[in-house]
Structure 1
Amino acid sequence: MGTRPQMTRAEWLASRPRIVVAASSLVHDADHRILLLHASWKDEWQLPGGTHDDGEDLWHTAVRETYEETGLAMPPRPRLLTVDWTTDPDGVAECWALFQGPLVGREPPVALSHEHDRWRMLTLDEWAPLLPEHQVRVLAVALDMLRHGGCTYLREGEPVG
C-alpha cells in the first residue's frame, strides 16, 4: 500500500467547490414598503447588493453595495435577517445574506449607479407580480424577521427546520 503525497494548501483550495457569496440590504420605510432597483442591463428588479470582494466580509459587502447603488448609508450595526443557500441552474452553489438596510422616508434620496435605471418603493404584495417566486418568499421571511426580530436560515427560499 503506497502513500499518497499530501496536497499543498493551494492544491486543496483548488479542489474545493466554488461558491458565489453575496449580500444585500432590505431598505424599507415605516410602512414596510421595500426599495428595489431595476437593473439597467436586464429587465429585473433587485435589492441593493452584490457579490463580495476579496477580503471583505458580508456585512461590508452590504454596506459597500448599498452605498454604491443607492447613495444610502447602512445602519451602524449589522442586523442579519436571512441567509439563503441556493443552487443556480448551472449547479453552482450560492450563499446570499440579507441585512436590515436603512429606514427611509416615503421618497428617499436615492442616487442610482450606472447598474440601475430606476427604483421603486412598494409593499411585498405590490412587488409579488413583478418578482420571481423565490425572491418573494425570501422577502416575506425577511420582512417577518424585520418586524419580529431574529434571523432565519433558508434553503432555496424556504425556512429550514
Structure 2
Amino acid sequence: MSAHPKMTRAEWLASRPRIVAAASSLVHDADYRILMLHASWKDEWQLPGGTHDEGEDLWRTAVRETFEETGLSMPAQPRLLTLDWTMNPEGVAEVWGLFQGPLVDDGVLVKLSDEHDRWEMLTIQEWAPLLPPFQARVLTTAVDMLCNGGCTYLREGERVG
C-alpha cells in the first residue's frame, strides 16, 4: 500500500512549485557591442525579452519579445548562451534563458515598443557600471559564451561548478 494518497494529475500539478520563466536575446554587432533598451516606465536598461506566454518555450519567448520590442528578427536556429536559476524576493523560482540575438550593423533600424523609450549599443565594459551587479554578471557571462562558444548554467548569476 502506498504511503501517499493517489492524486489526480491536476492535483499533482497544482501541488508543484511555481516557476516564472523568461527569455532574452543578445542583439550584437561585429564588435560585440550589445543592444539594450531603456524602460519607459522606470530608469532601467534591459535586454530585449520578457516572460513566457502560456504554452510557449523559452526560444519562442525570445523570438516574440525581441520582435515586439525592437522589430528585429532572431536567427533561424536557437543558440542558448546562458540559463540562470534564481529565487525572487517572494520565494518564487525564476529561470532566465539568454539566447544569441541577431547580428546587426551600424545602420540597424530599431522599432521600439511602448515599453521602451530609447536604445543603445555599448560594450560589456561600458554596460557593466550602468547595470545592477547581478545583471552585469549574467551579461558578462553571456558575452563570453557569444565570443568563445558554449553555454553556461548559472545560479543567481554565478557560474555553477
Task: Sort the TM-score into its range (normalised by shorter chain).
Answer: over 0.9
Seen in structure 2, the aligned counterparts of structure 1 residues 7 and 149 have a Cα distance that, compared at 3 Å, is: same
One-letter code aligned to 1:19: I
- For 1:131-146, what aligned pairs fall within 5 Å after superposition? 131-146=131-146
CA shift for structure 1 position 4: 5.3
Q: Distance in 2 between matches of 1:18 and 1:124?
A: 32
Q: Secondary structure at the match of 1:76?
A: coil
Q: Distance in 1 between matches of 2:3 and 2:71?
A: 57
CA shift for structure 1 position 7: 1.1
Instruction: Show structure 1 runs of 4+ deviating over 2 A.
Output: 1-5
Seen in structure 2, the aligned counterparts of structure 1 residues 105 and 8 have a Cα distance that, compared at 3 Å, is: same
1:35 aligns with 35
Q: Distance in 2 between matches of 1:141 and 1:41?
A: 27
Q: Distance in 2 between matches of 1:5 and 1:41?
A: 48
CA shift for structure 1 position 106: 2.2
Q: Distance in 2 between matches of 1:129 and 1:6?
A: 53
Q: Secondary structure at the match of 1:89?
A: coil
CA shift for structure 1 position 121: 0.5
Seen in structure 2, the aligned counterparts of structure 1 residues 34 and 2 have a Cα distance that, compared at 3 Å, is: closer
- For 1:74-89, what aligned pairs fall within 5 Å after superposition? 74-89=74-89
2:101 aligns with 101
CA shift for structure 1 position 126: 1.0
- Aligned-CA RMSD value: 1.4
Structure 2: where are the runs of 5+ without partners? none
Structure 1: where are the runs of 5+ without partners? none
2:6 aligns with 6
Range with bigger deviation, 143-152 or 2-11? 2-11
TM-score under structure 2 length normalisation:
0.96
- For 1:146-161, what aligned pairs fall within 5 Å after superposition? 146-161=146-161
Q: Distance in 1 between matches of 2:2 and 2:71?
A: 60
Count of residues paired in the alignment = 161
